Structure 1
Amino acid sequence: MSEMSTRRRGLLIVAWVWVGLPFAYGAVELARKLVQLFGG
């Protein structure tokens, strides 16, 4: 595996984390709000 592909893989992981963490947080908050709204 070349150094460029290793660097690219690292960048890809960072990009997924950068997008995935806020998305996951938003999904959890949405679920909590839906339970409050419909579950009482």
Structure 2
Amino acid sequence: MSTPASSPGEQPTTHTPVGLIAFAWALVSVPLAYGLYNAVRAAGALFG
């Protein structure tokens, strides 16, 4: 059985768990959403 030849610059693929990706997105998006909400609320009070 032969395996396909890989080019010298090719790296093996890795698999990142879906839970880890979801956790990373939540870690970034929750504080971002909170900050945007407060910014819009403050801008509304300033201009409204």
TM-score range, shorter chain: 0.7 to 0.9
Percent of counterpart pairs with the same letter?
Answer: 38
**How many residues are paired up?**
34
TM-score, normalized by length of structure 1?
A: 0.77
Work out the CA distance in 1 between the residues paired with 2:31 and 2:43: 18
Gaps of 5+ in 2: 1-14
RMSD (Å), alpha carbons: 1.2
Work out the CA distance in 2 between the residues paired with 1:12 and 1:36: 36
Gaps of 5+ in 1: none
Residue 35 of structure 1 deviates from its aligned partner by 0.3
Runs of 4+ in 1 over 6 A off after TM superposition: none
Partner of 1:24: 33
Work out the CA distance in 2 between the residues paired with 1:8 and 1:27: 29
Partner of 1:12: 21
